[in-house]
Amino acid sequence: MSFDPKSFLKHLPNKPGVYRMYDSEGCLLYVGKAKNLKNRVSSYFGSSGLTSKTVALVSRIDDIEISITGSETEALLLEQNLIKKNKPPYNILLKDDKSYPYIHRSDHGFPLLAYARGKRKKNGQYFGPFPSALSVKESLSFLQKVFRLRNCEDSYFANRTRPCLQHQIGRCSAPCVDFITEKEYAADLKHAEMFLQGKNQDLISGLQVEMLQASSELDFELAARLRDQMQYLRKVQEHQAIDAEQGDVDVIAIMLSQGLAVVHVANVRAGRMLGSRSFYPKFKLDESVEQALADFVSQYYLMLNREIPDEVILSHELYDQAMIQGALSEQKNKKVRIAQTVRSERLKWLQLAQSNAEESLRLKKQDKEHVYQQYQDLKKVLRLEDVPKRMECFDISHSHGEATVASCVVFNLEGPLKSDYRKFNIEGVVAGDDYGAMRQALERRFKKLNADKKPELLLIDGGKGQLGVANEVLAELNITDIPVLGVSKGTTRKAGMEILLFQGREFNLDIASPALHIIQKIRDESHRFAIVGHRARRAKSRTGSMLDEIAGIGPKRRKELLRFFGDLSQIKSAHVDEIAKVPGISRQLAQEIYETLHAS
């Protein structure tokens, strides 16, 4: 190793900051923070106490850069920005998936409560966040059922002349055709908002007063409806006994065992449990549970830009807890409490999160062991020297040669590796030529082969013809060390009756064979991914191309047109006056759209 740690450590300051470790090729290996740079970086080069994973990291270090910060909090924020930007391999990397979903109340005379995700740019009010799309949909379904609020878009609402089916089944009060006044609708909407804000008890008390008043005024139909609403709400309260305490709280529990980690996050908003989710972070160094949880919490809130609650309850104390609490408070512009010792309902929430983390870890272990058994059986069946640690499978999808797409899915010892999936839009091949499409996809995949992403087994969904193409492409590219397995559906085309073609052998496996199960799983995933890609490409070509040819029609207006009419055929059949009703479409542009579509 050319890096001389002794001379480097002599000049390090005893100040807070961030350090970055690089290998001999200049690739960033690891980013860390420290309240004392000299002490923290020196700990990596001690003569004892290092874990095997840390030793492996240190052996690759060729250079270290530091950045001094004004405080520990600044160091933490800089660390998370650098990890998000560079994705160093030895840091924990949480998947930066979609933002939390919300419920949005539109700015309208008869407001719409609807699902929303992403930046909150629309006028109106947002409720949430919710932990999943399912929890939003369940809440919306409940609100429509109990308070009969509309669920249609404004364009649909504005063009109704008679009540829709939602009104017929008692899930909408039909404000679109004036079956309810704005004042009456506003009262129902207010009740729904109180439910979303967690004010269930106040809501039930208010409904009870309204019911008695309606009954005294002999409006028994309204009284009965209010009675039914109270019954629904009481049932919800029975199922959610954890609503006893108010507050916006996240409850986080971690479980580590045998190299596996599970972090379970439960979200409580306005005292009501909205749902929970398990994460499976991959820790590349042998961190303690306190360090591992600190890494997770830092990235979860600071790197992924999650909404920070007023309180975070944890199963373990964090490493550098005071610094992380300060960073969260600074980010929120309000003091955030981090606690481990809690009582009453908060203790129940924590125990529930710990139970979920434990169960998730148990299931993850079982699944991992089951997958490993399948891989071992696959090695035995195919007579391979080692268990294939990376497998890729290719499939072709099209509709009578239209919008041909090839898929490549990747599996490793832990299952699907979706970050490495690829789709290939096939061009310049005769329509319906599956062999030509397969050849093009394989050439594009293996022409520039990265040694770190080289498959140890290649699966081809097809018979002898597709298998022959794969072998020819690999031979032309001088790739001789990737075995190829053909998976043919056989004459019956039934699951379990697949014919396997491998190195000159043609054979079947027993329907109960673990090796067959993993082959089917990979093949089916490749087929699914190819179909998804094909449908997306076909839909784009059918709905987008004709509209894209019209000057003045960009993605936003195209989206409004399709949202208003449903599909291209409905736009074609519409008159100019109807097209002009679409938001953002002028009368002149409507005329151009009409003439272009009918000229085609």
Contact indicator for 56, 30 with CB cutoff of 8 Å:
no
User: Residues of the chain with pLDDT > 90: what percent?
Assistant: 28
Q: 76 in helix, strand or coil?
A: helix
User: Residues of the chain with pLDDT > 70: what percent?
Assistant: 91
Q: Region 269-274: what's the mean pLDDT?
A: 72
CA distance 427 to 425: 6
The tokens describing 321, both together, are 């807890």
390-540: CATH architecture:
2-Layer Sandwich (3.30)
pLDDT recorded at residue 95: 63
Question: What is the length of the chain?
Answer: 600
pLDDT-wise least confident of 231-245, 314-328, 332-346: 231-245
Q: Region 406-428: what's the mean pLDDT?
A: 91
Tokens 């129940």, located at residue: 348
CA distance 264 to 353: 6
Where residue 238 falls among pLDDT bands split at 50, 70, 90? very low
- What is the reported pTM? 0.57
CA distance 583 to 325: 46
pLDDT-wise least confident of 349-353, 392-396, 593-597: 593-597
Question: Given a cut of 70, is residue 471 above it in pLDDT?
Answer: yes
pLDDT-wise least confident of 148-157, 235-244, 294-303, 337-346: 235-244
Write out pLDDT tens, residues 52-79.
788 888 889 998 999 998 888 888 888 8
Contact indicator for 137, 128 with CB cutoff of 8 Å:
no
Every domain of the chain with CATH number 3.30.420.340 lies at: 249-361, 390-540
CA distance 502 to 497: 16
Question: Given a cut of 60, is residue 97 above it in pLDDT?
Answer: no
Task: Find, among 397, 349, 320, the residue nearest to 76 by Cα.
Answer: 320
Q: Region 344-352: what's the mean pLDDT?
A: 87
Where residue 545 falls among pLDDT bands split at 50, 70, 90? low
Question: Given a cut of 50, is residue 243 above it in pLDDT?
Answer: no
- Highest mean pLDDT out of 54-63, 268-277, 366-375: 54-63
Q: Which residue has the higher pLDDT, 55 or 411?
A: 411
Where residue 242 falls among pLDDT bands split at 50, 70, 90? very low
Average pLDDT, the chain: 84
Where residue 198 falls among pLDDT bands split at 50, 70, 90? low
Q: What is the DSSP string of 224-278?
A: HHHHHHHHHHHHHHHH-GGGGS-S-EEEEEEEEETTEEEEEEEEEETTEEEEEEE
pLDDT recorded at residue 241: 41
Task: Find, among 40, 302, 322, 321, the residue nearest to 30 by Cα.
Answer: 40
Q: 499 in helix, strand or coil?
A: strand
544-599: CATH architecture:
Orthogonal Bundle (1.10)
Question: Given a cut of 50, is residue 244 above it in pLDDT?
Answer: no
Question: Given a cut of 70, is residue 245 above it in pLDDT?
Answer: no
CA distance 102 to 269: 12
Contact indicator for 260, 187 with CB cutoff of 8 Å:
no
CA distance 497 to 488: 9
Domain 249-361, CATH homologous superfamily name and number: UvrC, RNAse H endonuclease domain (3.30.420.340)
Question: Given a cut of 80, is residue 295 above it in pLDDT?
Answer: yes
Contact indicator for 287, 295 with CB cutoff of 8 Å:
yes
CA distance 196 to 208: 19
* Domain 5-86 in this protein, CATH class: alpha beta
Question: Given a cut of 50, is residue 534 above it in pLDDT?
Answer: yes
Every domain of the chain with CATH number 3.40.1440.10 lies at: 5-86
Write out pLDDT tens, residues 114-134.
888 766 677 888 877 676 677
Question: Given a cut of 90, is residue 252 above it in pLDDT?
Answer: yes
Q: Which residue has the higher pLDDT, 200 or 433?
A: 433
Q: 51 in helix, strand or coil?
A: coil
Question: Given a cut of 90, is residue 339 above it in pLDDT?
Answer: yes
Q: Region 579-594: what's the mean pLDDT?
A: 87
pLDDT recorded at residue 148: 84
pLDDT recorded at residue 100: 67
